[in-house]
Structure 1
Amino acid sequence: MSETDQYFILNGQFQFKWTDATLVWNRTEYHGIEELCIQQRKIWRPDIFLTNTLTTRQHLGTRDIFKLSCTTDVTLFPFDTQECEMIVSTWNSPSTELLFTLYSDSVQLVSFVPNGLWEISSVYALVENTAAHELPICRIVFKLKHRPTYYLVNLLVPLVLLSVIGSLVFLLPVESGEKTGLSMTVLLAYVVFLALLSDHLPLSSLQTSILTIYISALIVLSCMSLVWTVVVINIHHKPDHVPVPRHMQLFVNCMTCTRNRTFSSSKVSPVNPRMCNSKTSDSSASIPTISSFVAGTHHPAPGTTADDRQASWQEVARALDRLFLILFSVAVIISTSIYFGLTR
């Protein structure tokens, strides 16, 4: 079976039975001989041919290798099921002169050899004896189902892993200098996978594989990831003397999960007058030293809010990375879930 060129090849043999009034054999006159082998070219044969063959048409009845056309539907590739037919008809004998009758509705698969990419799920035959002056037709239908293991291991699993690697771009710090390089590598990998997939699909616009749409969506997301990475790097390297806009500061506070709260002034505990009159030697320990102020935690002035803190451009870049990571991961999860949901 070739989905790219839309044909399938099989090796088989047809068995036909008909009654010819000119061929009469009386075994009593020939010493009880009941069977006789005669060359086909020496007797009359019905003009039966394969109408969808891709090779030279010839009379059926002998064992041969048949190459037949088969229109494929690759929408669910590689989880698709194809139906290929052997269409048997006559050359010029209408239904008034020749009728097809099935003496067995099953196809014998005695010499069938399993294929690594396809499995035969069912085979059946049906006869269409049309109206008078029309040619009779016999259809032998092969229902072929794809074995998806090869494509799962070599195509789908690497695609999902590439999606995970693509999201790691936003976790890579700008200082590493490898953000754009990783984005470009993932993008080119998607393009290579799309090119490899096109070699397994027919050149047709009648059906479009869902897998092709899925990879195209991943390419679009990878392009957006590259654009977002360039934006983040540009913001990260803005000079410090350029002030960060107010809405950017609010965005940083939102992404870092800080709350706008007012720092209350510290309460001063009342002084015990007895401690003033104390002459103990350790009274000097209650006097704060300079080192205690240096080691202590700095508190903003009373009435200062978290929004009043001036955010840097580096913090803005990190906040954008976090936002783009969430958006990219959600988009990849949704597209992957839709693909596997449609191909179930």
Structure 2
Amino acid sequence: MKIILVLLETQWIIRLMFAYTLTDEQNLHTSLLTGYNRDLRPGYDRNKPLGINASFYLFSINDFDLNTGKFTITGVFLLNWNDERLSWNPATYNQGNTTSIPQKKIWLPNFINVNPFKDIKGLGSDLITVDVDYSGLCSWYAVQAFEVICDPDVTKYPFDTQYCALKFFIWGYDKTAVNLYFESSRVILTLYSENGIWEITDSTTHKQLHFHGNEEFVVGFHLKRRTDYYIASLILPISSISLLLGFVFLLPAESGERVGFATTILLSTVVYLTIIQGKLPEASEPNMSILGYILVSYVLSGTILVVFVIISLRIQNSPCDKPIPGIFVRFVVCCRRKRKMVDVKDIDSKSTIFKEDEDSQVTWKDVGTYFDLVCFFISVIQFMVTVTVYFSLVCA
């Protein structure tokens, strides 16, 4: 036990004797930065490119405005490279192995975002430091909020998927001078906080040749919209309202509420169309939203139904002494035959005969009643076809 205590005490004394102090780090900075030219890239052999290892960590998706195409995220670039001018012998500075140097005092790769939403600016800020170890290995954690342009495709809104990318150049250096490569082919999401609207289905980090022949560094995100909110607050309400349009023909004509009911439903559809148009970009490329076309079809069909309601009321309120055109009479007789079939049992077989209605028994009210039934069935069929077409297109 005494031996162990003696060893621990000896180790503690040695650490105090060779502790890395503020004076040591100050002397280290003075030695490293004296005569250091931050305008020259590292590398004694100028015929070999400087290798830079890059990784991108995503923190959060802040915003994606479909109207302006502004995609905003917060993340950090981790860039590693060797600068031989910043190497030292740890024994000279009481075993000091690492230090931090403000980024404005040493050479940095001029990482420029080339698809910004506003101003073009470089990576990092004067508040950020670079970690340097005794071998000259520099580690730059460039934390930043990135605002870039992302052209949205709202064809399948709100079941849409988007691809947004951050694009960078190392300004002033070509691939013969600086060779950057990504450590991972995907964005690292270990620090990511989930977004309530968008889900990241995939990501990519890669290099590609720009049309000028320069290398472009891309950090891309494949996004999928979370649709639960939109189904509950948009799709189901507008579908229910549109389905109600057909039921106006089941209201008694004597109630006097038909036109008001149909107009209210039509105005509700127009309000939803206005809400959706406020969320979608005004551009028509690459395509307009399918949902926009569906809502326009709902508005047009609602307008036609209001006209049919007025026509139906005019028919049912026509004077009794006004002659009924023959086509209307045949229409009513045909509908009656389909509804009043009488089965007659025979000894050998069953046969179906129709009970004929006299043309003289057809009134304007009968014409209006069957006209309402036909309009109701057409409206329901049209609604079902529209919904089926919409979901088949967005799910394709």
The TM-score normalised by the length of structure 2 is 0.71
CA apart distance, 1:44: 1.1
Contact 1:87 1:139 in 2 (8 A): yes
In 2, the alpha carbon distance for the partners of 1:9 and 1:307 equals 74
Contact 1:260 1:306 in 2 (8 A): no
Instruction: Provide Cα deviations, 1:148-177, integer angstroms capped at 9, x if missing partner.
Output: 111101111011111221111111121111
Structure 2: gaps of 5 or more residues: 1-63, 125-141, 342-354
Which deviates more, 82-91 or 147-156?
Answer: 82-91
In 2, the alpha carbon distance for the partners of 1:260 and 1:59 equals 82
Instruction: Provide Cα deviations, 1:197-230, integer angstroms capped at 9, x if missing partner.
Output: 0121112111200111111111111011011111
Which deviates more, 40-49 or 92-101?
Answer: 92-101
CA apart distance, 1:258: 5.4
Contact 1:48 1:88 in 2 (8 A): yes
Secondary structure of 2:88's aligned partner: coil
Q: CA RMSD in A?
A: 2.2
- Match for residue 252 of structure 2? 173
In 2, the alpha carbon distance for the partners of 1:305 and 1:174 equals 27
Which aligned runs of 4 or more in structure 1 are off by greater than 4 angstroms? 258-261
2:227 to 123, 127, 148: 148
Q: Is 1:242 aligned to 2:322, yes or no?
A: yes
Contact 2:337 2:356 in 1 (8 A): no
In 1, the alpha carbon distance for the partners of 2:374 and 2:279 equals 37
1:233 to 313, 324, 327: 313
Matches within 5 A, 1:1-344: 1-61=64-124, 62-128=142-208, 134-206=213-285, 207-257=287-337, 305-344=356-395
Change (3 A) 1:130 1:213: closer
Instruction: Provide Cα deviations, 1:69-126, integer angstroms capped at 9, x if missing partner.
Output: 1111000111111111011212232222222211232322233222221111122211
CA apart distance, 1:53: 1.8
Structure 2 residue identity aligned to 1:154: S
Secondary structure of 1:141's aligned partner: strand
Larger RCO (CA under 8 A, 6+ residues apart):
1
Secondary structure of 2:254's aligned partner: helix
CA apart distance, 1:46: 1.4
Instruction: Provide Cα deviations, 1:50-72, integer angstroms capped at 9, x if missing partner.
Output: 11122443332421211111111
Change (3 A) 1:307 1:25: farther
Secondary structure of 1:17's aligned partner: strand
Structure 2 residue identity aligned to 1:329: V
The TM-score normalised by the length of structure 1 is 0.82
Structure 2 residue identity aligned to 1:313: W
Structure 2 residue identity aligned to 1:340: F
Q: Percent same amino acid among aligned pairs?
A: 29
Change (3 A) 1:118 1:177: same
In 2, the alpha carbon distance for the partners of 1:208 and 1:39 equals 49
Instruction: Provide Cα deviations, 1:232-268, integer angstroms capped at 9, x if missing partner.
Output: 111111111111122211101112335999xxxxxxx
Instruction: Provide Cα deviations, 1:173-192, integer angstroms capped at 9, x if missing partner.
Output: 21111111111111101100
Query: As a proportion of its length, which structure holds more strand?
Result: 2
In 1, the alpha carbon distance for the partners of 2:218 and 2:364 equals 72
Contact 1:258 1:306 in 2 (8 A): no
Contact 1:255 1:323 in 2 (8 A): no
Aligned residue pairs, count: 301
